[in-house]
Amino acid sequence: MPWSRNRKTSAGTADPAVAGAQLSGTTTPIKTGAARPRCGTCILRPHCLPAGLAPEPLRKFENMVQHFATLAPGEHLFRVGDTFHSLYAVRTGCLKTCAVDPNGREHVLNFHFVGEIIGIDAIFPEQHFADAIALVESSVCHLPYRAISQFAREVPELQVQLVRALSRHVFSMTSISGDFSAEERLAAFLIMVSARHRLAGGGSTELQLAMSRQDIANYLRLATETVSRILARFQKSGLLQANRRQITLLNPDGLYAIAECMNPYSRGGINRRRPDKDATRS
C-alpha cells in the first residue's frame, strides 16, 4: 500500500536570533566570504578538523580554508547531484541535509550544528546525494577536499582527525538507526541538541531549536503531530517546558533515563516498553 507520510518540505523560516547568538561574540556575521577564518583562535577548533595541529601546519591549514558567505534561512549550501569538491564546517547556525525520495517524502538525514562537518558522506560517491539547507542564518567554513586530503599526507595528525571524523559520523548514525519508540527517539534527540549546545558554548537546558517540528519528525521518522504530542506529554510530566522552538529542560536526567537505551556506550540500564524480541544465539 502506498503509504505516504510527511511529505511537505519545510525550509526553516526561523528566528534569526538563534543563529548568531551562540558564538559570534567577536565576529559579526560575514556577508561575503571576506576574511579568512582563523582556526588558531576559533573556539571550535578542538571539535574541528585542525584539532591538535602544530602551529606551523595549522597556519598552512588556515590558508586552505575559505570562508563562505553567510546563508540565509532556507538557503542551499549544495544540492542533490552537485559534484563533491569540498567539506564544510559549520561556524554559526544550523543546517540540515535531506533528500526527497521518488514518492515525494522528505527524509532529513542529519542536522549539522556548530562545529560539525558536512559532506562526509559524499567523499565516496564524489557527488552529493542530499541537499544541505540552512535552517537559520548560518555560516560555514569551506574546506576544499583535494587540498585537505593532499595536505593530510604530510600531516599525519590531520589524517587521523579526518578518519576520526568519519568514524565518529558512522558511530553517531548507529544511534538513530535502531528500533526505538517515539518517546525514546525524541528524548535522545533533545539530549543530543542539548549536548551540542553545550559544545558550542551555550547553555544545555535552555534550547532554542533551529528546526521545525516537521524537520524533527522527518529526522526521527515520525509524524509532526506525534512530535507535538510527545512534547506535550513530556511537559505534562515535568520533564521540560516547551513553547514553540523554545525548550527548557527541567529534568534532563529524566530524559536521559528514557533515552538511555539508545546510547551505545551505556547498554545496561533502564527499561523500554517492548519486553523482548528475543535475541541470542551463538
Say whether residue 229 binds its own copies (CB under 8 A): no
Partner whose footprint covers residue 280, from DNA, its own copies, none (CB < 5 to 8 Å by kind):
its own copies
Q: Which is nearer to DNA, 58 or 242 (CB)?
A: 242
Q: Decide: is 275 part of the binding site for DNA (CB under 7 A).
A: yes
- The answer to the question of residue 218 lying near DNA (CB under 7 A) is no
**Least distance between its own copies and beta carbon 58 (Å):** 19
What residue 178 binds from DNA, its own copies, none (CB within 5 to 8 A, per partner kind)?
A: its own copies
Measuring CA to CA, how many Å separate 96 from each of 107, 134, 145, 225? 10, 6, 20, 20
Closer to its own copies by CB, 165 or 242: give it: 165
Q: Does 231 bind DNA (CB under 7 A)?
A: yes
What are the two backbone dihedrals, phi and then psi, of residue 259, each rounded to the nearest 5 degrees? -90, -10
CA distance 50 to 46: 8
Q: How many CB atoms lie within 10 A of CB 175?
A: 16
**Residue 106 beta carbon to DNA: minimum distance, rounded to whole angstroms:** 12
Q: What φ, ψ does residue 189 adopt, rounded to 5°?
A: -60, -45
Give me 214's grid cell.
Answer: 516537521
Task: State the number of binding residues for its own copies (CB under 8 A).
Answer: 81
Rule CB under 8 A: choose which of 46, 52, 178, 238 binds its own copies: 178
Q: Applying CB under 7 A, which of residues 85, 192, 229, 251 lies at the interface with DNA? A: 229
* CA quadruple 251, 224, 184, 190: dihedral, nearest 10: -40
User: For residues 255 and 19, what is the distance between their CA atoms, to the nearest angstrom?
Assistant: 25
Indicate whether 31 belongs to the interface with DNA (CB under 7 A).
no
Q: How far apart are the first and last CA of the chain?
A: 37
Compare residues 22 and 212 and give the one whose CB is closer to DNA: 212
Binds DNA (CB under 7 A): choice among 32, 54, 268, 273: 273
CA–CA dist 237, 207 (Å, integer): 18
Grid look-up 502506498 returns 2
Rule CB under 7 A: say whether 183 interacts with DNA. Answer: yes
> Would you count residue 59 as binding DNA (CB under 7 A)?
no
As beta bridge partners, residue 100 has 106
Q: Does 107 bind DNA (CB under 7 A)?
A: no
